[in-house]
Amino acid sequence: MDLGALIIYAAAVLLAIVAFARRDMSFRFGLRRALEQAITLLPRMVFALIAAGFVVKLIPTDIIVRYLGSGSGVTGIIVGSLAGLMIPSGPVIAFATAAALAAGGASVPALIAFLTGWSVFAAHRVIIFEIPLLGSHFVRLRMLSVLPLPILAGCVALFLTKI
């Protein structure tokens, strides 16, 4: 078992103990919320992962490696950022795609640019939540403020992985 899995399992046990020790409804509410979220997410996630697995099988590996691989440098960061901007959906698709791209040979800087681009733009959130709750002026301001972030993150990652 790798460290990431270990941390998650340990955190689950630790938080369950903390919630239980409060002796109020925290433990039941926490478990209930976990169960609800798992049931809401897992069915879609399973099929998103299956779909992403097939997509990556269909995209020839040399294309992923050429545009997003370790030799792709700044091009990979730009391609990754743009791909991230264009994913108008929640984490299910974004992370399934990222995991599949990683398996297909995409480099760390390109993947970081991809996930950063997706997190800060996420068009579906803008339409569903941001415009109705904060107005289009705020959205315009925020979009321009976060525009450089995916490229910036990718370049820092490229620099850090080079040294």
**Which residue of 53, 59, 68, 70 would you call a contact of another protein, by CB under 8 A?**
53
Give the side-chain half-sphere CA count within 13 A for 39: 5
144 binds another protein (CB under 8 A): yes
Q: How far is the CB of 160 from another protein (least distance, A)?
A: 7
Helical H segments across 59-148, by residue range: 61-68, 73-85, 91-103, 108-121, 123-125, 131-134, 136-146
> Helix (H, G, I), strand (E, B), or coil: what is residue 140?
helix
- Which tokens sit at 67? 């545009």
Kindly state the number of chain residues that form the binding site for another protein, as judged by CB under 8 A.
83
Q: Applying CB under 8 A, which of residues 4, 23, 162, 163 lies at the interface with another protein?
A: 4
Which residues lie below 8 Å from residue 138, measured CB to CB, with a gap of 6+? 130
Q: Which of 33, 63, 75, 86 contacts another protein by CB under 8 A?
A: 33
Nearest to 80 by CA among 52, 56, 108: 108
Short-list 105, 118, 103, 123, CA closest to 149? 118
Subset of residues 60 to 89 that bind another protein, contact rule: CB under 8 A? none
Report if residue 23 touches another protein, rule: CB under 8 A.
Answer: no
Query: Shortest Cβ distance from residue 124 to another protein (Å)?
Result: 9
Binding to another protein (CB under 8 A) within 92-131 occurs at 92, 95-96, 98-99, 102-103, 108, 111-112, 115-116, 119-120, 122, 125, 128-130
